[in-house]
Amino acid sequence: MNMRLFGATAVAVWALSLGCNTPSQDMKTTDYVTKASELPTPPDAAQKPHITDIHGLQLQDDYFWMRLSDEQKEAQEADAQTAEVVAYLEAENAYKKDVMAPTEALQTKLYDEIVGRIKKDDESVPVLDKGYWYYSRYEEGKEYPFTCRKKGSMDAEEEVMLDQPALAEGHSYFAVGGRSVSPDNNLLVYGVDTVSRRQYTLYVKDLRTGELFEDRIPETTGGATWANDNKTLFYTKKDPMTLRSFQIYKHILGTPVSEDVLVFEEKDETFSCGIGKSKTEKYLMIGTSTTVSTEWWYLDADTPNGEWKVVQERERDLEYSVSHYGDHFYIVTNRDAKNFKLVKTPVNATTYDHWEDVLAHRDDVLLEGIDIFNEYLVVQERQEGLNRIRIKRWDGASDVYIPFNDPAYTAYVGANPDFNTDRLRYSYASMTTPNSVLEYTFATGDIETLKQQEVLGGEFDPANYVSERMMVEARDGVKVPVSIVYRKGLERTGDNPFLLYAYGSYGYSMDASFSVARLSLLDRGFVYAIAHIRGGSEMGRHWYEDGKLFNKMNTFTDFIDCGQAMVDAGFTSPDHMYAMGGSAGGLLMGAVMNLAPGLFNGIVAGVPFVDVINTMLDESIPLTTFEFDEWGNPKDKDYFDYIMQYSPYDNVEAKDYPHTLITTGYWDSQVQYWEPAKWIAKLRDVKTDDNLLIMDCNMETGHGGASGRFERIKEVALEYAFMFMLEGIDE
């Protein structure tokens, strides 16, 4: 192929379809589509039928061959299948690059613009823990932070615990996992991943000398927990194939890793486990969980060789989390409490027949978590989709809520390791308010802003933007919140470019937060909105349960109904509406494309989970067994039939689809690269339109994309440029 010729053709198409700095009322998407046939010929993946026999059916998958094992990917010499797969992915990348070539200058402009708003020599707010102030800081020109501390005062000499820029040298991907300092402040354990598969090797550093211990522990979750003897570590191992966190080991510094003792093994393949420590540092805590069930074990941190005890044995549909205070465990649980409640139980009598209510269940308030202090209980709640932080004295003398003023916002309790502090550290942001770190003084109620994210460039003023919240009535009568932001002065002409984002799975709530990158959309006339659809927990636990398993279709129809409501409200039209979602939100994008392709002009599907049937049938794939209670097990015919209604890959058919940009990572451990690769190949085979269909496969990263602070912004610039191209925005 003559890529230079293809590039010239794409430039011609660009010149014909663009020519204005703001969205043109004269330039419609159809003007671009009529020229799309002049674009280069896209890759044509080979079809190699693979048959799966299930429930009396034969499912044919023409692109099953695209799946490679980790061993194949890691082999120094590629076999024929690996070579064919890599060649296909590289062809898709070349095609994407050629199609997007006319936007390269715009992508560079967007990158520079976004980076230009970010403070290069930034520093986190220091956190006090056992006499040391801990913080991280960036230096200009560096992609990774320095992890630092100072003893006693911020005026003391700086101690660089981890020089991440130096550690990252020579690696195309670099990530530090959990970091934990020993109780005597002398040792640091941390994890490093240089592949992007979320498998970390643990290292131990002597902070007094700067030397690394010879101890190296591979295939972990990235963090470790110290016993109080300053020499015993507990860590979690991952299954090398499924990446399930399934074993807890005990390691004594200076001894061979091969002699580490297995202290807990989760043999139920639907559960994953981990280990931590109570805030009081009195107890080591092992937690194991699946989507609908949890179980906790505890051990006195002073006796790491002692016998672990269970808090409450697992039961189906029983979830709980444990905090320690005094002679009691404080437990957030859904036992007889759909929206969760807080109970307490004596440490020496922990089963639920001993549980005593502290905060009763409320039908209209979701209890999300607690933080315990010597004199105060801090409660994180959610009501009507909005965060609340409640502060309650143990003696009952006061019970107050921190005030928040924006119509849509995010607020959450931050790092508060000091059990005896008189202040609460928390974070706040809205769609118009930059990320802020604040402190609330318990005794007085005074609030101090310790830091607010700086937006450089001198052009940002919160007063120039408007945030609002709408309640959209879905087709079944349920009211769905939508958080919206746009530039002040925008008129509802029906032709405004509009980006609708959502996630809608696992009970994760997507709050209305601030983004410096998003300003590049708003300042070019875009409206941005988050649809808080069912499948999250914004409106309570029922919101999640109404968007999973046999209720999953609600997630997709909620999103479609929210999009249609934005059109009906005069914000936009299908010619200017765009949708974005990633991972399970990418599943949302794929389902919406099949169910309502005419509602959106363009779709950005990030690392999309689109091959639901095939993935959930294969228990060797990471996350599969852990997620049977989220999607269902298709080996059960009822679940199979229901999933087949929405699985994007299985529902691709001959019809017109929106312009689509798909992103993925070759080393993705959460959604394997072959799902989007198969999906785009199948879409190309059967779709009836000439709309753009491109995929960006980062061959060096996994689920989270690039690891560098600024490198990942290049991915954002690509996504924005894709939408701007379709809108006729060339600057």
> Which residues in 287-313 are b (16+ Cβ under 10 Å) and which e?
bbbbbbbbbbbbbbbeebeeeeeebbe
Chain centroid to Cα 258, Å, comes to 34
DSSP string, 368-417: EEEEE-SSEEEEEEEETTEEEEEEEETTSS-EEE----SSSEEEEE----
Q: Are 497 and 723 in contact (CB under 8 A)?
A: yes
483 is catalytic: no
Q: Are 340 and 330 in contact (CB under 8 A)?
A: no
Single-letter amino acid code for the residue at 475? R
User: Which of 328, 532, 576, 703 is an active site residue?
Assistant: 703
685 is catalytic: no
Which residues are paired to 494 by β-bridges? none
DSSP string, 345-358: EETT--SGGG-EEE
Q: Which value, to the nearest 10 degrees, does the dihedral of the CA atoms of residues 238, 239, 243, 246 take? A: -60
User: Which of 583, 647, 669, 707 is an active site residue?
Assistant: 583
399 is catalytic: no
Q: Which among 458, 530, 461 has a CA at the least distance from the CA of 489?
A: 461
Tokens for 278, please give them. 């109570």
Tokens for 137, please give them. 């800081």
The Cα–Cα gap between 318 and 311 comes to: 13
Single-letter amino acid code for the residue at 492? R
The Cα–Cα gap between 217 and 494 comes to: 58
The Cα–Cα gap between 626 and 301 comes to: 29
User: Which of 668, 669, 696, 730 is an active site residue?
Assistant: 668
Q: Which among 416, 455, 450, 449 has a CA at the least distance from the CA of 434?
A: 455
Active site residues: 583, 668, 703
